[in-house]
Structure 1
Amino acid sequence: MTKLSMVSDAIIRHIESGSLREGDRLPSEGELAVHHGVSVGTVQKALTQLVHSGLITREQGRGTFVSGTRVAPADVRYLRFSDAEGKDLPCYVHARSVKRIKRKGPWSDFLDSEAFVRIERVINVGGRFDLYSEFWLREEDFAELGGLDRTALEKNLRELVGQRLSLPTLRVDQWVRFGKLPSAAAQELKIESGQPGFIMELRGYTLRNRPLYYQSVCSGPFQERLVILRENGQ
């Protein structure tokens, strides 16, 4: 584990355990550096990552505080990782936008419809790196879900669709490739536009093999060696 990950993990553990709660002020950068035996620069990088993931906020002249957003790990079963030491890395989901779109793309080819709803989210993995996700539904299916608040959008969308529409996900096809990241993904991941990255496409089917949703997940480069965990834990 890198020194940067060590600092991030320690702060996340304090938030998850409740020893740091919403609105609590974190120790100063200098105090954190001394406590963890690292440089102030390393602490600053760790805090910047956690700010971007939404777990903490920094206020000029006041300090660093635990964010007012939810900090409980989300149930994102298709994207679960552990580090090289076997420690599971929790995922924190942050909804960015919900838009009705008629633009064509791989989602329209798969869902075979004219109008769609795109749910944009950023998934932070253990405070170490971010994933950008676009989840596409037919507009008529999204309408049947009823009103979705931010809390609902930051849960497992597969299960939400299954519960509210009685349309369980019975099969998911997955593809991975390395290619140019979409501009929206590059912007959210703070990567220069046009740069390549990791792209995963997921196509979910429900009863009678009906296409249910299309999803893409993007990531920029990261150096850590991670283990992908399957839904059954294997």
Structure 2
Amino acid sequence: MTRNDALAVAVDKRLPSYVQLRDTLAAKIARGDWKPDVVLPSENQLAAETGLSVGTVRKAMQMLVDEGLLERKQGTGTFLSKRAFHASLFRFFAVTTADGSPIIPKSRLIARARIAAPAKVARLLDAEDCIRIDRVRSHSDQVLLTEEIWIPHHRFPGLETLPEAEIGPLLYPLYLDRFQVFIANAVDEVSFARASGSVANRLGIAPDDPVAVIERTAFAADGTALEWRVAQGPAERFRYRSRLT
């Protein structure tokens, strides 16, 4: 499979051409070569650059759409997907309007610092030099979650001193817009524990009250771990709903 040098990355040549192209395009997404809110090259453009058929390019692009990395906007083109990971923690602590529409809780920063990560986080992120962010999420003056977030400093330089007004309530769009870091997917692990004194104080509950604990690891398209966070909320508010079809 021939390629323009701008698209060249190491891929497994034993794979079908459309899968090789999918891997090449996913690597471009992970590197930040494509910017947010900018239309991506058309299938015809990519076919011309790679020497592949339009049908092969279409299959590769559709794989990325199916995986949630890209989204098609009718009449406009194809863009990086901005999947609503910011809301997904709240499937466990649902907040809705009277008609059942989801509400995105407010965010308040408690602390930010560039510090050495604990061993577990350093191994996961492959970086000891990290930024720690502490914040709470609330609605109608009721704290729903407290979060401890770790990110590698070399991928997010300066975030620890960025004015709070420039951060806003949603981190993943900030990662993409300010640092060209695209969160492709995330894994949540749920458990239950007793609230520590500091967590209880933030949540407005008693120490040792039960809390739901959601540990999340967020990844780039190439599988690199970019963020680790732990969110804790009152167990009595925890809900989980699954539909089997």
Which category describes the TM-score, using the shorter chain as reference length? Answer: 0.5 to 0.7
Structure 2: distance between partners of 1:137 and 1:195: 29
- The answer to whether the 8 A contact 1:134-1:217 is kept is yes
SS at match of 1:79: helix
1:138 aligns with 2:152: yes
1:180 aligns with 2:190: no
Partner of 1:123: 137
1:209 aligns with 2:223: yes
- The answer to whether the 8 A contact 2:114-2:160 is kept is no
Cα distance, 1:227–1:192 mapped onto 2, change above 3 Å: closer
Deviation, structure 1 residue 227:
7.5
- The answer to whether the 8 A contact 2:156-2:179 is kept is no
RMSD: 3.0
SS at match of 1:159: helix
Partner of 1:76: 86
TM-score, length basis structure 1: 0.56
Cα distance, 1:105–1:132 mapped onto 2, change above 3 Å: farther
Structure 2: distance between partners of 1:165 and 1:90: 23
- Identity level (%): 19
Partner of 1:218: 232
Deviation, structure 1 residue 212:
0.4
Of 112, 116, 121, the match for 1:107: 121
Partner of 1:45: none
- The answer to whether the 8 A contact 2:214-2:232 is kept is yes
TM-score, length basis structure 2: 0.54
Partner of 1:192: 206
Structure 2: distance between partners of 1:200 and 1:146: 23
Write out per-residue CA displacement over residues 100-122 of structure 1, whole angstroms, 9 at most, x where no aligned residue.
Answer: 22241542231122122111111
Q: Gaps spanning 5+ residues in structure 2: where?
A: 1-84
Write out per-residue CA displacement over residues 58-109 of structure 1, whole angstroms, 9 at most, x where no aligned residue.
Answer: xxxxxxxxxxxxxxxxx93223434586243341111111022224154223
Structure 2: distance between partners of 1:163 and 1:90: 20
Please identify the structure whose Cα radius of gyration is greater: 2
Structure 1: distance between partners of 2:103 and 2:209: 26
Partner of 1:15: none
Deviation, structure 1 residue 144:
5.2
User: What number of residue pairs does the alignment pair up?
Assistant: 154
Structure 2: distance between partners of 1:78 and 1:111: 22
SS at match of 1:186: helix
- The answer to whether the 8 A contact 1:82-1:227 is kept is no
Deviation, structure 1 residue 126:
4.8
Partner of 1:70: none
